[in-house]
Structure 1
């Protein structure tokens, strides 16, 4: 019966089961989605802008001992700054929508590299990143 109702309404069986428990059959208004009027995202534009600013900063500038941000650490820091509590996975989704990716290096070979070549590569990479921000459609990355 619930499966038929879910197919008829066009929603999941889980949604029908939820409203069977939480809805009042004598009051159809109890079945209305209270969120239908507007977008109820926790992350405001200001929150997202602050996140994008902070993710590019060194955590040590904010008094932390760790050297890299994780989504969970960003969420915790931004909760202190804004009062908005999000999970690490929510922060990760926001960053992914804004085209940020997270790559964690397991170890560093910095001391084994030629400093001049490393500097030249860094300058070239910085130029590519600058171009990618200005004209993302003009950059292709091949592996």
Structure 2
């Protein structure tokens, strides 16, 4: 049987930094790593930590190794390779500006933006076509809320006739109702 592995004794500053990462880490992955180090320093075994965090045993060993060699900074995510981001700060600014502008003022025949419409508009304006999910992510990051448009015919009705019928309906509601006329 393999001997139990625990993290080395933490210095006071490391303990404070781990606590800070655990409480206010920028994302869940970092908070989970900090919690694993914290639990080990408190005397929990790797088996117990696996049960508490619900993660792989090897991941905990990897986090311990990284912490032992690089300290607290090793628990943060490293930059990953991949496709560069296609949307720029200018794209985001123009997207926000477009969403806050009535589409009719931009020459469109509609009054409400949808994801499909704003995406097509931005493709025309910026020559960058993003997926609807990416546009939604940008909107969320910018604090904009997307709601599905409610199409009504309220503006098409005759206001005078509607008011007259509404008054009649109110009178009917207020009058005593007798289902059996005599």
TM-score by length of 1: 0.47
Q: Between Structure 1 and Structure 2, whose CA radius of gyration is higher? A: 2
TM-score by length of 2: 0.38
